[in-house]
Structure 1
Amino acid sequence: MNTANIIDGEASVTAVAHAAMARTPDPRLRRLVAAFVDHMHALIREVDLTEAEFETVLKFVTDIGQQTNDVHNEVVLAADVLGISTLVALRNNPQNQGQSAAALLGPFWRAASPLCANGESIARCDMPGTTMEVSGQVRGVDGAPLAGAKVDVWQASPVGLYENQDEQQPSMNLRGYFITGPDGRYSFRTVRPAGYPVPTHGAVGVLLRLQERHCMRPAHVHFMVSHPGCKTLITQVFADDCEHLGSDVSFGVTKPLVGQFVHHAPGGKDKADGGSGYYTLNYDFVLEQGASCFPEAPIK
């Protein structure tokens, strides 16, 4: 009888677990799981995890899974508020060639948003709030404009809700994608988004309350920019005058992603601004060479 891998005490558990997993054929999977085991076992020893605390951790993981469905993704939300999503995005998207800064995807992107003509509005119903005009250019790292780039955009409403959260908004409101012209430029009209609280009805909300953290994100517009032969860029552009820039609950704000939301006085040319003026945002994107691939949508 082979007794080499029989547990003879707490100190032997990690080594025996590694031995059991050492035959994993996929080298990347073998490395990832081995590192996970190392770090988790070390954490348990470092904090002297109790059985009651272990039960709480398992319940949290179970809850975020059970609270994830077609219209709400608690798993992505948990990764966001723990800083995991931003760390992965920054480590995998350096800016050493002048490419644009990436950001976390977030839990609200939907695939198959409608195609819009440049200059068209993504507001699909009458909405309160101030008009905003967004434009820019998509270029490669060599500076050449990229014609035919896809610029997918989505945002919260002026009351801080995405359309899948709000029965008052039609499907795909404040979502759409645009194709750049020969000069690599895109443009669209929208309403200025508001900052908003992340959903707190689930396990993530419990965690935030226990940590005495607020649940707010600063106002922003999401972008997913792609072009054949280029790495898909997932990012966000934040309002420069938002009060939560320095305390984003999802840790998504980096300096290059703070855009200038410029306010223009009422009565400008051809502006139906209702006396409140309008905003403009100009933001260019630089894509690096790579594979044009897309994430799995966190909601349907």
Structure 2
Amino acid sequence: MTGDGLFDIARSAEVVNARIDDSVSPRLADVMRVVTRHAHAAIKEAAITQDEWMAAIGFLTQTGHMSNDWRQEFVLLSDVLGISMLVDGLNHQRPAGATENTVLGPFHVANAPRRQLGDSISADNKGEPTLVIGRVTDTAGRPIAGATLDVWQANDDGFYDVQQPDAQPKWNLRGVFETDAEGRYWFTSVKPRFYPIPDDGPVGTLLRALGRHPFRPAHLHFIVGAPGYDEAVTHIFVPDCPYLHQDPVFGVKPSLIADFQHTVDKAEQGQYGFSGPFWKVEWNFILDGARP
């Protein structure tokens, strides 16, 4: 460092970090030192010009202006850069066999309706009928009674209800279920389909500039939890989706790819209350004991 506190290109990060007062939170000081050091190093390595830096500031400004109560453009930016998955992965490392986390996404809505086991979450009657059935257990295979499953998905047109408040019924394709005494759950919905993340803002402009597409592979969202267990924020993915290996938010993990079976057997249709062919996916969630 120069010793007089004045800016110096060669030691730019060190000069800035030296201004952090000893009285601030040690964690804040540590994080800001790392961020400043890597930001300065990146600007030097890429030899960022004045015009490029002003364009970056303009991009971030537009990202802020695009954000509102139901659309968080900064979350979207974090997602498409793989940062959301990185932070989530570092903070939710679980033992082998436990259900893995993936990104929450920007369209979760709290306080969805509580539904009875076997209910349908589809209110617009679009799409191919689908049965989702399974169990919630701990890592030793013991059933977890009373576990909650908060589930949501896009409709057959590729939109969540909050994206089309005038076109979709409220709470369409959303619901909260509770497992029975044997840890079982089941409900009906429609087969998920792929859809584009919102690409009419600065994040969409960035994707196009990078030659990337906006299509998320078909999936259902889940938040699965029970007292005393580490909550799982996760998806299950449709295996035949053309975008399965090209998720723009990097949310796909091999352990989350499900097996959707097309069921034409009339006896099984009658057993589950369907009047014709339907899709069936059996999926078990395995929760890890909560850590301090």
Match of residue 20 from structure 1 = 19
Deviates most, 17-26 or 162-171 = 17-26
**Cα 1:263–1:24, aligned 2, differ >3 Å: closer, same or farther?**
farther
TM-score by length of 1: 0.91
**1:146 alignment partner in structure 2:** 144
Question: Which consecutive segments of 4 or more residues in structure 1 shift more than 6 A?
Answer: none
- 2:128 is aligned with what amino acid? T
Structure 2 match to 1:201 = 200
Distance in 2 between residues matched to 1:58 and 1:214, nearest whole Å: 24
Structure 2 residue aligned with 1:132 = 130
- Paired residue for 1:161? 159
Unpaired segments of 5 or more residues in structure 1?
293-300
Tell me the equivalent position of 1:280: 280
Match of 1:114 in 2: 113
Kept in 1, the 8 Å contact 2:207–2:213? The answer is yes
1:45-79 per-residue CA deviation (whole Å, 9 max, x = no partner) reads 11111111111111121111111101212111111
Within-5 A mapping of 1:177-188: 177-188=176-187
Aligned length: 288
Instruction: Give, in whole Å, the separation in 2 of the partners of 1:5 and 1:288.
Output: 53
Name 1:212's counterpart in structure 2. 211
SS at match of 1:46: helix
Contact 2:70/2:106 (CA < 8 Å) preserved in 1?
A: no
Per the normalisation by structure 2, the TM-score is: 0.93
**Residue 43 of structure 1 aligns with which residue?**
42
Q: In the superposition, relative to structure 1, how do residues 241 and 67 fare at CA in structure 2: closer, same or farther (>3 Å)?
A: same
- Which deviates more, 217-226 or 180-189? 180-189
Question: Counterparts of 2:257 and 2:158 in 1: how far apart (Å)?
Answer: 18
Q: Could you tell me how far 1:5 is from its partner in structure 2?
A: 4.0
Change (3 A) 1:137 1:14: same
Q: Is the 8 A contact 2:95 2:288 kept in 1?
A: no
Contact 1:7–1:13, Cα closer than 8 Å, also in 2: no
Listed as ranges, the gaps of 5+ residues in structure 2 are none
Find the aligned partners of 2:105 and 2:4 in 1 and give their Cα distance. 43
Measure, in 2, the Cα distance between the counterparts of 1:198 and 1:238: 16
Letter aligned with residue 107 of structure 2: F
The Cα of 1:88 is off from its aligned counterpart by 1.6
Whether the aligned pair in 2 keeps the contact of 1:174 and 1:190 (CA below 8 Å) is: yes
- How far apart in 1 are the matches of 2:280 and 2:242? 19
Aligned-residue Cα RMSD (Å) equals 1.8
Structure 1 distance, partners of 2:191, 2:259, is: 12
Return 107-116 or 96-105, whichever deviates more. 96-105
Letter matched to residue 264 of structure 2: A
Tell me the distance in 2 between the aligned counterparts of 1:138 and 1:100.
10
Query: 1:296 — aligned with what?
Result: none
Give 1:237's aligned residue. 236
Percent identical across equivalent pairs?
37
2:109 corresponds to 1:102 = no
- Alpha-carbon distance, 1:175 to partner: 0.5
Structure 1 52/266 Cα, relative in aligned 2: closer, same or farther at 3 Å? farther
CA contact (8 A) 1:266 1:273 kept: no
Deviation at 1:26, TM superposition (A): 2.0
Distance, in Å, in 2 between the alignment partners of 1:41 and 1:195 is 39
Q: SS state of the match for residue 44, structure 1?
A: helix
